[in-house]
Structure 1
Amino acid sequence: MVSTSTLTYSPHHLNAIVRGSGFPILCLHGHPGHGASMSVFTDHLNPRFQTIAPDLRGYGSSRTRDRFQMTDHLRDIEALLDRLQVDRFLLLGWSLGGILAMELALRHPDRVTGLMLVASAARPRGSHPPISWQDLAFTGVSGIINRVVPSWQWNIETFGRRSLFRYLIQQHTPLAYQYLADSGMSAYLQTSGPARNALNAALTAGYNRLSSLEQITCPSLVMAGEADRHITADSSRETAHHLKNSQFICYPNTAHLFPWEIPAQVLGDIDHWIDRHPQVVASSEVSSQ
């Protein structure tokens, strides 16, 4: 991830959902994902702040057929911020987005005011069991039905709980399945092969930035789902331990998509953290006084 050699040599123009006004909060999605899948956060935050939720290269409407490396995401995001004339900003990253958020904080300590890391880690580790053909079949059927009839309890009980959704969520509620219908399916379908390959290459290389985290001094909020099998809560806790100025929250009976399981609790904790660290949303003029 941190290699300076890349396969492409110019930033990719990113599609981005920009809403609200006020201090900028850059919201980075995971894999699979797109800017719209961050709506659980942006809908809540944009009445008070400007939220910027891009489709990363190879995701959503930021389409490409060309190969690229993970470092290219960083240059794409930097070009987007320059295009939007954003100088200082707060970062919120979910899963892969959290990894990119940490990389941006390391590259731009003078611009990043704070970090909110959701189901992410500087040394990501998973505990996902092998995937069977039955898992794939139940996931496909459940996903299609849920897209047509969102949050149908019969589908949740018959197929959802037996699908791969059981590793993404623990609380099989109508609300969680509504988010899956609204954003989950489209995010999966709009994730490209080059994006999958870039992420797999970084993980295969053994991505690990723990030793660099001491360089990040801005306030950080690290949130994890206790039953996360994609990026374990222990790896998120390890990241929080290496960050100098961090708060760690682990939510019981939740998994990788915990913001869709317990949105009110997660958003309330984000609000409280921002209230305790008002400098993360202060303009440079105010913070310099």
Structure 2
Amino acid sequence: MKLSTASAALLAILLTQGCSAPADSTAVSNEQTTTSYLDYSGREDELSGGARMIKINTPKGEFNVWTKRVGNNPTMKVLLLHGGPGGTHEAFECFDSYFPKAGIEYYYYDQLGSHYSDQPADTSLWNIERFVEEVEQVRQALGLNKDNFYLLGHSWGGILATEYALKHQDKLKGLIISNMMSSVPAYNQYAEEVLGPQMPPAVLSEIKQIEAKSDFSNPRYMELLLPNFYTKHALRMPLEQWPDPVNRMFNHMNQTVYVQMQGPSEFGIRGNASLRNWDRSADLPKIQVPTLTIGGQHDTMDPEHMKWMASQLPQGRYLHCPEGSHMAMYDDQKTYFNGLVKFVKDVDSKAMVKE
């Protein structure tokens, strides 16, 4: 296609402007910084493009967990703890659209039992204490420390991140608890008293009948939940528009790990689920490192509780996503990432203040 002289001149101006001054304020500041951020030469994981398996020790032997590094930054390195339990890193792939241009180094990571890591059959491995020890071994293998290590946990990952901070906060620079309350009993109450009644009474009644019979494999259960709960509180988009990374994560969910710890119900953590009594609300003041809590207005978790959590943390900050649900990183994406990037950079520049 031929361009007129005027069109070619205009295109040249636009291209020059685009290269010299990125419009996004979070963009990497100059070409040299960008080059350094993307330079993997000399790194142990250069051959694999940042991916590596890490060997971990457990009471049941040695296993391998999958990680993948993106970028280079000596002072800002974020390890991502996915939800589930038994989910995968895949739901975090939207971070590729925001962290690189902000110059933040980050690590995808599939916890033991998840799709890209080893999946041992021994159910005694699925407990909080062992997962905390696993995260610590991963931290050591990746060379993260208190001068650069930010830990972000989403949903179940938020429970794991909280427990890690209570045991190992001397290794942390910053903590992010995304879309997770500090008390499962409080979450159960919110699901029962607030979320359930938002559904049509006939739908809620049928769901409760199925749950009372423990008939969770009944296809009708998901037929009711998908339009009446998931697209209202998990990810506020029509199912046919759900992003590919989210669909892959759900397809790869380890149901054995999920049901043992979370339980089969989608209305709270109940029955014999090992997490049903988890509550760290009284311990939040013990977490001294700068901490961001994130909640969505339409979340499965109570946004007011997550705001309250920030008030209990000595260096707490709350990020509210007014259009967001449990996966606010998708349905209120710009709010989520603008606030998250600001927090990481404020901590890095020692400008962290409560908001």
- Aligned pairs for 1:1-289 within 5 A: 8-10=59-61, 12-22=63-73, 23-31=76-84, 33-46=87-100, 48-62=103-117, 63-67=119-123, 68=125, 69-88=127-146, 89-124=149-184, 125-126=187-188, 127=191, 128-129=195-196, 131=207, 134-137=220-223, 161-162=227-228, 164-172=230-238, 177-179=241-243, 181-200=244-263, 201-204=273-276, 206-229=277-300, 231-279=301-349
What is the TM-score with the length of structure 2 in the denominator?
0.63
CA contact (8 A) 1:70 1:202 kept: no
Match of 1:287 in 2: none
Structure 1 range deviating more: 10-19 or 103-112: 10-19
SS of the residue corresponding to residue 17 of structure 1 reads strand
Cα distance in 2 between the residues matched to 1:19 and 1:280: 24
Residues 172/240 of structure 1: CA separation in 2 closer, same or farther (3 Å cut)? farther
- Percent identity of the aligned residues? 18
* Partner deviation per Cα, 1:247-276 (whole Å, 9 max, x = no partner): 112222421111110212211111222333
Q: Distance in 2 between matches of 1:87 and 1:280?
A: 17
8 Å contact from structure 1 (residues 90, 280) kept in 2: no
Partners of 1:113 and 1:219 within 8 A in 2: yes
> Secondary structure of 2:145's partner?
coil
Normalising by structure 1, we get a TM-score of 0.76
Query: How many residues align structurally?
Result: 250
Larger radius of gyration: 2
* TM-superposed deviation, 1:9: 4.6
CA distance in 1, matches of 2:72, 2:94: 18
Contact preservation (8 Å) 1:26, 1:90: yes
2:157, 2:109 → 1: CA distance? Answer: 10
Q: Could you tell me which residue of structure 2 aligns to residue 148 of structure 1?
A: none
- 1:110 aligns to what SS in structure 2? helix
C-alpha distance in structure 2 between counterparts of 1:233 and 1:11, whole Å? 39
Q: What is the CA RMSD across the aligned residues, in angstroms?
A: 2.7
> Structure 2, unaligned stretches of length 5 or more?
1-57, 197-203, 211-218, 264-272
C-alpha displacement of 1:83: 1.9
What CA distance in whole angstroms lies between the structure 1 residues aligned with 2:109 and 2:227?
31
Indicate how the Cα distance of structure 1 residues 172 and 250 shifts in structure 2: closer, same or farther if over 3 A, else same: farther
Q: Secondary structure at the match of 2:150?
A: strand
Of the structure 1 ranges 98-107 and 9-18, higher mean CA displacement relative to structure 2 is found in 9-18
Range 192-201 or range 16-25, more displaced: 192-201
Q: Which moved more, 1:11-20 or 1:87-96?
A: 11-20
**Paired residue secondary structure (1:108):** helix
Q: Distance in 2 between matches of 1:276 and 1:186?
A: 31
8 A contact 2:90–2:249 mirrored in 1? no
- Give the Cα–Cα distance (whole angstroms) in 1 for the partners of residues 340 and 320 of structure 2: 13
